[in-house]
């Protein structure tokens, strides 16, 4: 049976709101937290993008739940040696309750320093090398690394947790999923895809954790909830590689005009029917996920947490 956590959306909410949501999530019965790591939101309507490592420091004081980034790109915007220091410090502050979720990133966040945005195969190659660099640094030993993509010279992390930070790898296509199986401590994805879970396990993942994230929009007016999803998260319904290659919120807003409300809400429960929410989450359980993280779209956060505390989580955990 899967566990259920809450996904804190840095694209939609400021740091104080995220910390308050974390408190409400723990009170509602969620058992873990994910937090997104962005430089830009997906569109102007979302309107936020706080620095994730600052927020994690606040979360360490506000909640006793485990925390994981979903996901950090350690290849372009921030060098993997610096990500390793941030992750190690977070793990110390959270007393071992931190996992680093990583992925190959999107141009939306990673283009900002003017570096070339490479093709997918190179991005995965960079991610694999970055993971190797971070694992070396998590030992607390001195590290020098002269690789194809990264150089680290005589570096040592002095503040490290008792155990190395686990690194879970995000994957959507076959190559990324197999990379997760080969080098990850767990697998992250956002679709209840049993075939992807099987590919991860056959590629070396074995019995390691599989973590999924999904969005819902609770509200007493289902049609209004659907409009909220369409306004804020049409980007989730864009096809192909657009999500990885568009470089700023304005471009996403142009592309989002092609997404109908029906398409934007096709896999998102909208409204206050507990059966719809339960069915969406159980699809992940049925596909073999170990932990499922839920994100409430829009401003109705308190109502969402009350609804899940009383109507959804008790049925999921029976």
38 given a catalytic annotation: yes
Q: Roughly what angle, to the nearest 10 degrees, separates helices 80-93 and 120-138?
A: 50
276 three-state secondary structure? helix
Length of the chain measured in residues: 318
Got the DSSP string for 98-121? Answer: EEEEE----HHHHGGG------HH
Please enumerate in sequence order all residues whose Cβ is within 8 A of that of 187, keeping only pairs 6 or more positions apart, or say none: 168, 169, 170, 171, 177, 180, 181, 197, 200, 205, 208, 209, 210, 211
Q: Give, as one character, the DSSP assignment of residue 154.
A: E
Closest residue by Cα to residue 59 from 7, 32, 9, 94: 94
Phi, psi for 312 (deg, rounded to 5): -115, -60
Q: How far apart are CA 32 and CA 209, in angstroms?
A: 14
Q: Which two tokens stand for residue 305?
A: 């947490």
Is 153 exposed, middle or buried, given 0-12, 13-18 or 19+ CB atoms closer than 10 A? exposed
| Cβ proximity of 6 and 293 under 8 Å | yes
The residue from 38, 40, 76, 277 that is catalytic is: 38
Which helix (H) or strand (E) is 216 found in, with range?
A: strand 209-216
Q: How far apart are CA 277 and CA 104, in angstroms?
A: 30
The residue from 68, 106, 110, 178 that is catalytic is: 106
116 given a catalytic annotation: no
What is the Cβ-side half-sphere exposure of residue 283, based on CA atoms within 13 angstroms?
17
Alpha helical stretches, state H, 201-300: 222-233, 242-245, 249-256, 261-264, 274-286
Q: Which residues carry out catalysis?
A: 38, 106
């Amino acid at each position: 049976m899967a566990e259920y956590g809450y996904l804190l959306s840095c694209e939609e909410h400021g740091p104080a709101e995220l910390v308050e949501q974390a408190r409400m999530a723990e009170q509602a019965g969620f058992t873990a937290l994910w937090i997104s790591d962005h430089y830009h939101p997906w569109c102007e309507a979302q309107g936020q993008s706080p620095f994730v490592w600052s927020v994690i420091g606040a979360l360490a004081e506000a909640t006793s739940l485990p925390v994981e980034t979903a996901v950090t790109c350690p290849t372009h915007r921030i060098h993997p040696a610096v990500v390793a220091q941030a992750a190690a410090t977070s793990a110390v502050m959270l007393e071992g309750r931190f996992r680093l979720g990583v992925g190959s990133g999107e141009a939306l966040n990673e283009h900002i320093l003017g570096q070339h945005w490479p093709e997918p195969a190179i991005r995965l190659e960079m991610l694999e090398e970055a993971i190797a660099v971070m694992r070396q640094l998590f030992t607390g030993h001195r590290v020098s690394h002269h690789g194809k993509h990264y150089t680290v010279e005589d570096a040592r992390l002095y503040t490290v947790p008792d155990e190395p930070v686990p690194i879970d790898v995000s994957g959507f296509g076959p190559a990324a999923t197999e990379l997760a199986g080969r080098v990850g401590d767990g697998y992250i994805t956002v679709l209840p895809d049993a075939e992807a879970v099987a590919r991860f396990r056959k590629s070396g993942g074995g019995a390691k954790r599989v973590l999924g994230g999904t969005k819902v929009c609770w509200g007493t007016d289902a049609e209004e909830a659907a409009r909220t999803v369409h306004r804020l998260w049409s980007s989730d319904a864009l096809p192909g590689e657009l999500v990885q290659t568009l470089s700023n919120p304005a471009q996403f807003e142009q592309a989002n005009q092609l997404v109908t409300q029906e398409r934007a809400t096709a896999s998102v429960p909208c409204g206050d029917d507990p059966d719809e929410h339960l069915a969406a989450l159980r699809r992940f359980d049925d596909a073999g996920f170990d932990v499922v993280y839920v994100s409430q779209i829009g401003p109705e956060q308190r109502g969402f947490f009350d609804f899940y505390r009383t109507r959804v989580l008790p049925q999921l955990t029976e």
